[in-house]
Amino acid sequence: MDTRIRVENVDYYSFGSDLKAIPVSEGGHFPKELNGHKEYLQHSIRQLPLCNLNVKVPQSKISDSKIESLFDYIRQKGFEGKKPDFVTSKELLKSIASMESHMIHVCRIGGVIWIQKADREIPENYGRIFEHFMTRKQGEEMKEEGTNGVFKGTVIHGDKEWSILYSGKVDAVERTPKGNLRHYELKVSNGPTGSSYFYGENSCSHFWQSFFGASPSLIIGSRTDKTPFEKTKLQKYPKFVIYKIQEIRRESIPGEVSELPYRFQWNVEEGKKNIRVFLQLVKNHLKSDGDYLVFSRKPGSFKWNIRVNENTEFSDLVRKYVTV
């Protein structure tokens, strides 16, 4: 029996280093729109202006790994209807589907299960530079501000159904002729996007991040490494630059992966199953308000180790913002 997952984008909010959410209805910002560099997606002959990655990027003062901004959003807006079964982040859902997450804090408060990804986050400076390159207005400096989408997810398996409210970063958007916002994930790849390395090493994580971010496409920036890249005698690129961008449709990725050697293969149904099994496991173990557990596993293992969490930091954070 297949598992189905529906994703709906319902709102946006911006936030600063204090992690206070400002919904767009209260003056918050929509995600940044793609700038003129998107034109180079359609022109294979014109040379993209090089994006220099060899620059010093100030350490970001915004860290929302505890999804504190979403809690503040819920404090202001409530659930606007029926309570969800789970509240979490896009990053957590992506990590469960792609088998990347190994440490998760979970608590049940007010009949809702709150889930926090507790793995150590690795800064992505190249990603920040590329996002600024693709969305900046003329003369605009890199700003310390986050913009998240708010999403409702529904997981359906047979006669069982779970609802999830979550938030996550939206890298860039483009307005459609009807005025809607089309989401894009922006990623940096070492080397060409059509290579087996790209699909073997990155595609699973990229697919699920775009899936849970309601992004039908990804824009990939191909970069050089610590040595210059000579594509032809007339095309030479210095070290640490993005020299090409390419749009990849999310739904095309699984087909490309199926052509790879077996050790690199994955499929969408496995990722949906990973989500369903984890949510069912969490439901089975957190049956009463006040339950607070840690789920952990070794890299590559399907088996979760479960223990009581003696540190109440996460549950205290939920109670600080949310009255349910």
Helix (H), strand (E), coil (C) string for the chain: CCCEEEEEEEEEEEECCCCCCEEHHHCCCCCCECCHHHHHHCCCCCCCCCEECCCCCCCCCCCCCCCHHHHHHHHHHCCCCCCCCEEEEHHHHHHHHCCCCCEEEEEEECCEEEEEECCCCCCCHHHHHHHHHHHCCCCCCCCCCEEEEEEEEEEEECCEEEEEEEEEECCEEEECCCCCEEEEEEEEEECCCCCHHHHHHHHHHHHHHHHHCCCCEEEEEEECCCCCEECCCCCEECCCEEEEEEEEEHHHHHHHHCCCCHHHCCCHHHHHHHHHHHHHHHHHHCCCCCCEEEEECCCCCCCCEEEECCCCHHHHHHHHHCCC
Confidence tier at 44 by pLDDT (50, 70, 90)? low
Confidence tier at 233 by pLDDT (50, 70, 90)? low
Average pLDDT over residues 55-64: 77
Q: Which amino acid is located at 319 in the chain?
A: R
Task: Give the model confidence (pLDDT) of 195-214 as tens digits.
Answer: 777 788 789 999 999 999 99
The two structure tokens encoding residue 1: 């029996």
CA-CA-CA-CA torsion sign (19, 23, 29, 30): positive
**Number of domains comprising the chain:** 1
**Residue 174, domain extent:** 4-321
pLDDT at 235: 77
Contact 314, 117 (CB under 8 A): no
Q: Residue 187 pLDDT more than 70?
A: yes
Burial class (CB in 10 A: 0-12, 13-18, 19+), 82: exposed
Confidence tier at 216 by pLDDT (50, 70, 90)? very high
Least confident of 70-79, 255-264, 293-302: 255-264
Confidence tier at 106 by pLDDT (50, 70, 90)? very high
Distance CA 190, CA 65 (A): 26
Q: Which amino acid is located at 72 in the chain?
A: D
Angle at 196 between CA 193 and CA 200, to 5 degrees: 100
Confidence tier at 228 by pLDDT (50, 70, 90)? confident
Q: Residue 278 pLDDT more than 70?
A: yes
Q: Which amino acid is located at 86 in the chain?
A: F
Task: Give the model confidence (pLDDT) of 146-183 as tens digits.
Answer: 899 999 999 999 999 999 999 999 999 999 999 999 99
Distance CA 147, CA 159 (A): 35
pTM summary value = 0.93
Confidence tier at 264 by pLDDT (50, 70, 90)? confident
Number of alpha carbons in the 13 Å side-chain half-sphere of residue 4: 7
Q: Residue 42 pLDDT more than 70?
A: yes
Partners of 8 in beta bridges: 152
Least confident of 29-43, 102-116, 223-237: 223-237
pLDDT at 260: 80
pLDDT at 140: 79
Least confident of 90-99, 198-207, 256-265: 256-265
The two structure tokens encoding residue 270: 């496995």
Distance CA 185, CA 248 (A): 10
